[in-house]
Every structure is written in structure tokens, then in C-alpha cells.
Chains A and B, each alone.
Chain A
Amino acid sequence: EVQLVESGGGLVQPGGSLRLSCAASGFTFSSYWMSWVRQAPGKGLEWVANIKQDGSEKYYVDSVKGRFTISRDNAKNSLYLQMNSLRAEDTAVYYCARVGGITGTTWFDPWGQGTLVTVSS
């Protein structure tokens, strides 16, 4: 069974840092692009970042560029999101998702259960 399990969320003060992890199982992790998608409380979905199979290409939504870093460890079947200079507007449930399809027509399937990040003083 394909499974994605996020961890690392919690309460952090504005300006602080947090590192999210996503443990993948049930598929060949190194063969897929991976993504982080977030959802603010009561709001819609927002794509955050993508990373290529070997980590050589990374893309980010403008609002997190320079603050967030996506990375992966294929030996550990793990995806990460290092979040620095956190702001109140970064408060959200962060989902890890596997990317399907090819460039220009990619979708997210499956999704993890999500981990809540709360940025507040």
C-alpha cells in the first residue's frame, strides 16, 4: 500500500524555523517527483513546492521563495521541508504528496494525512 506520513508540525513563533518530514512507503520513492501542498484553516489548497526525483530541480510558490527549502533523501525514502522566517500566514496543514504525470500535466496522488503548523506568539 502506498503511504505518506508527515511529521514535524507544531507551534512556532513568528520568525522561527521548523522542519517537516514525510516518510514514504509502498512505492519506489526515487522514481517520483514529490510535493508539499498546504491548507490554511478553513481555506483552500495551495501548492508550496516540488522536487525532482534526484533533487536537481526544485520549484516554489512565490510567497515562500527564499524562506522554505524542499529536499529529499532517497536512501531514507523521505521528503523534507525546511521552513525559516515563518510568518502568521504560513499557518496551515502541510500535506506531502506524490506527483503523477509528466511536466505540464502533473497531479497529486496520494496525499499524506497532513501535519499542522501554527505560527503564533
Chain B
Amino acid sequence: QSVLTQPPSVSGAPGQRVTISCTGSSSNIGAGYDVHWYQQLPGTAPKLLIYGNSNRPSGVPDRFSGSKSGTSASLAISGLQAEDEADYYCQSYDSSLSEVFGTGTKVTVL
């Protein structure tokens, strides 16, 4: 029952820049709630990648950047590397008193 919509997949060649969109509504992202992003490598637990729309936790490369506008948010990966091949999820808060995740996007490095 994801209320945040992401493209199922994106791909790019090594070194390229890819972006992942996260579209919400007036009850979550559009209500002003922050967006956070997670990276899930195959067979592992999710890892926090971006918090508070655009902040990177310590240790996350600056190739990863986040932004938010209106009812949507975006994650950009510049200088794409083979190790970036993973599933990516956005997350926000909904005024229905629940945390909500995006549908998830699989990034493939060609």
C-alpha cells in the first residue's frame, strides 16, 4: 500500500548521472514532511542514504544528492559506479499518522 510512487527501474552506464523520482501527495510530501532515501544492496538490509531531503549521513559519498519540490522528491546519483547497483526507496511521513515508503526503484549499471 505504498503511497509514494517511484519508477520501477532506471539504468545508466558507468560515470553517467541518473535520477530517481518519488511522487507523493498533499498528505505527505506536499504537506511539508521531509523525504529520506535508502539504498538496499542485494541480500542486505536497507541503509540510510539521504535524510531531511538533502543531507548525507557520514560515510555516504557526495555522488548521492537529494532534493524536494512540491509533492515530489528526487535522488540523483552522479558518476554512476557498479557498486551503486541496488534498490532505492524514498520514505516520508503521512498525515494519516504513518510512515510511508516509496514503491522502490532498481538501479542497473549497464
Residues of A within 8 A of B (CB): 35, 37, 44-47, 50, 59, 61-63, 95, 100-101, 104-114
Q: On chain B, which size bracket covers the interface?
A: 20 to 34
- Rounded to whole angstroms, the CA-CA distance of A95 and B99 in the bound complex is 15
30 A/B residue pairs, CB under 8 Å, sorted by A: A44-B2, A44-B89, A44-B101, A44-B102, A44-B104, A45-B38, A45-B46, A45-B91, A45-B104, A46-B1, A46-B2, A46-B101, A47-B98, A59-B97, A59-B98, A62-B98, A95-B45, A100-B51, A101-B52, A104-B34, A105-B33, A105-B34, A107-B36, A107-B48, A108-B46, A109-B47, A109-B57, A111-B47, A113-B45, A114-B45
- Rounded to whole angstroms, the CA-CA distance of A92 and B22 in the bound complex is 24
Digitize B80-107: 1 where CB-to-A-CB distance is under 8 Å, 0 elsewhere: 0000000001010100011111111000
Tell me whether chain B's interface is mostly helix, strand or loop, or mixed: strand
Tell me whether chain A's interface is mostly helix, strand or loop, or mixed: strand
For B36, the chain A residues whose CB sits under 8 A away are: 107-108
For A106, the chain B residues whose CB sits under 8 A away are: 93, 99
Chain A's closest residue to B33 (CB) is A104
For A35, the chain B residues whose CB sits under 8 A away are: 99
Q: How far is the CB of B91 from chain A (nearest CB, A)?
A: 7
- Rounded to whole angstroms, the CA-CA distance of A46 and B103 in the bound complex is 10
Q: How far is the CB of A37 from chain B (nearest CB, A)?
A: 8
For B38, the chain A residues whose CB sits under 8 A away are: 45, 108
Which of B36, B46, B99, B100: most chain A Cβ within 10 A? B99
Q: How far is the CB of B2 from chain A (nearest CB, A)?
A: 6
For A45, the chain B residues whose CB sits under 8 A away are: 38, 46, 89, 91, 101, 104
